[in-house]
Amino acid sequence: VRYQGNAYWQYCVEINDRPLVTTVMPAVVEAGKKSTVELVGVNLSAGARGEIEVSADTKAGPQWLAPKFGKDTLNPAPVVVSRTPVTAESTAAKSSPEAAQDIAVPATVAGRIAAPGEADRYAFAAKKGDMFTFEVCARRAQSNLDSILSIYNEKGARLVESDDVQIHRWQTADSILEGWVAPADGKY
């Protein structure tokens, strides 16, 4: 910083001729299972696939895990470990509430926002009084996604929305809706 020094500004330079993974897709894996993931990074061909095996006792949430690529174990990459079934984003367009992808709750959804302005929509059934918590884990998993999480009723009316949220002392671009209660039987 402005060519000034500081005893706490440390660094490490690693020089390698092997692939360097920066992220994996999907960015979530289920605890207790082996998952095939797309490897994204440097010195990797487009669409390169690897495997991440997660023991059942691995802590849920953001982790740094090393994928296997053939016989090689690559560098750790950010991955979210889930204890609920993982549902992959469908390739069908989800541009309107009517086209939302149906999911069963509880679930963890793995998707990506591939184009500017894209919105992914999912639909779930609820009974009046059912309570839910929704959490987007993107920034905490090293993604640059700045999410907005909204819940709509069957008529397309927005009921609640969450943008940036504060977790303890830190502000994050992830979104959380805690303790949301379904106001009526229906699809949301």
Q: Using one digit for the tens of pLDDT, what is the confidence trace for 98-135? A: 889 999 999 999 999 888 888 899 999 999 999 999 99
pLDDT of residue 105: 94
Q: Using one digit for the tens of pLDDT, what is the confidence trace for 129-156? A: 999 999 999 988 888 888 999 999 998 8
Residue with tokens 């805690």: 178
Residue with tokens 């390698």: 16
Residue 55 near residue 32 (C-beta atoms within 8 A): yes
Stated pTM of the model = 0.80
Which residues have CB under 8 Å from 87's CB, separation 6+?
Answer: 101, 103, 104, 107, 108, 109, 110
CA distance 35 to 30: 8
